[in-house]
Amino acid sequence: MAYAIDTDGTRSVGTTVLTTGEALRDCATGLAHAGGQARSAVGKGQPVLGPALEAFLAAHQREVGTLALAFSALGRNLDWVGISTLDVEMTNAASLGSRGLPVPAGAVSGGRAP
């Protein structure tokens, strides 16, 4: 029986998700800048459009910021899972070795089976 834990794949996904969080933070900054330009263009003399624009910008900036935080946290957790899983794999391999037992066929470093 073979076993393999895909630590490399898990960490790769974690990095991708973490990078998405960084991109969303950049998007939030761009949205804040564009919002400032929109506020300036609308001016203070628009009793209906001004408050509607403020509500739109506030909601979207908050949501993009929340998504950025969520993606960053998920990316860090996935990276941690990859590291933690590799530690478990190495502990199990050492335990098998200390008992004189072979590592099951197909178990290779990095969790990739042949």
Domain boundaries, position 66: 7-94
pLDDT at residue 4 in the model: 63
Q: Is 21 part of a structural domain of the chain?
A: yes
pTM above 0.85, yes or no: no
Neighbours of 54 (CB within 10 A): 14
For residues 29 and 1, the model is more confident at 29
Q: Domain count of the chain?
A: 1
pLDDT at 39: 93
The domain spanning residue 28 has which CATH number? 1.10.287
pLDDT tens for residues 6-42?
777 777 888 888 889 899 999 999 999 999 999 999 9
49 within some domain: yes
The verdict on residue 84 lying in a domain is yes
Q: Tell whether 112 is covered by a domain.
A: no
* Measured distance CA(68)–CA(60) in Å, rounded: 12
Cα separations in angstroms, 4 against 9, 40, 71, 90: 12, 58, 27, 12
C-alpha 4/C-alpha 23 separation (Å) is: 32
Q: What is the pLDDT of residue 3?
A: 55
> pLDDT digit string (tens) for 51-100?
999 999 999 999 999 999 998 888 888 877 777 777 777 787 888 888 88
Report if residue 25 sits inside a domain.
Answer: yes
Q: Is pLDDT of 1 > 50?
A: no
Residue 101 located in a structural domain: no
Say what the pLDDT of residue 23 is.
Answer: 92
Q: Is residue 61 part of a domain?
A: yes
Kindly state whether residue 67 falls inside one of the protein's structural domains. Answer: yes
- The 10 Å CB-count burial string (b at 16+, else e) for 75-92 is beebbeebeebbeebeee
Closest CA to 89 of 100, 74, 104: 104
